[in-house]
Amino acid sequence: MTVITRAVARLIDIEVEKVRTDAMQSFLKQETLVVDIETDDGVTGRGYSYTIGTGGRAALSMLNEHLLRLLTGEDPMNTEHLWRKLYDSTRATSVGVLTALALAAVDTALWDIRSKSSGRPLWQEAGGFRQAVPLYDTEGGWLHIPEHELVEEALASAAKGWKGVKVKVGKPSLAEDVSRIAAVRAAVGDDVEIMVDANQSMTAAEAIRRAAAFEPYRLGWFEEPLPAEDVAGHERLARSTSIPIAVGESIYSIGSFREYLQRGAASIVQVDVARIGGITPWLKVAHLAEAFNVAVSPHFLMELHVSLVAAIPNGRFVEHIPQLRAVTHEEIAIRDGHAFAPNHPGLGIVWDDDELDNRVVA
């Protein structure tokens, strides 16, 4: 039996490649939790999770002071057992953000070991449905970008054959949101999906009002219109509009996804592997969504999510926001509007160890 002999965690800062703003905040850097796990047979695993500027040191403390010591002597292949063991040891802080972020860094490292040990890439180890998945772009749609540039970015994505673009909404004026969406639709035509994202900035009443104004533009979805805890508001909104409602990046438990799905409050599930606590619970949410005949289009982390979306039958899109180029040697392959899950055994991320070492902050 293979056993874990050592586990270490670091906090690494990765600055954004371009300015990113939405209706609630600016994204200036990614605080990245990196966990390395060693085994007695020489197979090592690396996992990670992130925050967008706050809380990284708190999650690192949870890893170093509590969770990592529970791994020594355990079989890394027992991902379900280890996830539950670590989760049960954090009852005072779960369900919650810090527990989820810390667990995700460990769990993704364990899946890295599991996939390397089997000799299979993650997309096959986790299910193996298909290797290529449709891609949509977010980098060209941030809220601060003026309308003419928004159109230029959307046209550039369409010219590459990408299947969709996201436009951030939540401008003070409804008319400005509508003008931006209308300009992009007029530019790209009907063959490119347009998604809009309000980043939890609206009340239910305002989201219902804006959805009615957005409907003529045939949107792919209306993302995070309300605070994530407002399930009833999302349910009211979903019943009032033909636009699919997308939620998930700010949901931290399987049970919360179940409530959204049971109440018909989510048409697209955007489960984030870091915020749900790792690959182990991510797959459970994806299969739960499949049972409700709902598609999965995860939030962010394209370098990891490309393999998970490829693993499942109800994966719809990967979100294009490159964030690991500064600390990796390879980018995900993109051809004909699709992202291709890597074939390397493990997570498939080829890390630049020297650059990671240069960016350690704790």
**Short-list 178, 189, 139, CA closest to 21:** 139
Neighbouring residues of 121: CB distance < 8 A, sequence distance ≥ 6: 115, 307, 341, 342, 343, 344, 345, 346, 348
Q: Phi/psi at 38 (nearest 5 deg)?
A: -110, 150
Catalogue the active-site residues: 168, 299
CA distance 70 to 68: 5
Q: Phi/psi at 324 (nearest 5 deg)?
A: -105, 10
Within 10 angstroms of residue 70's Cβ, the number of other Cβ atoms is 16
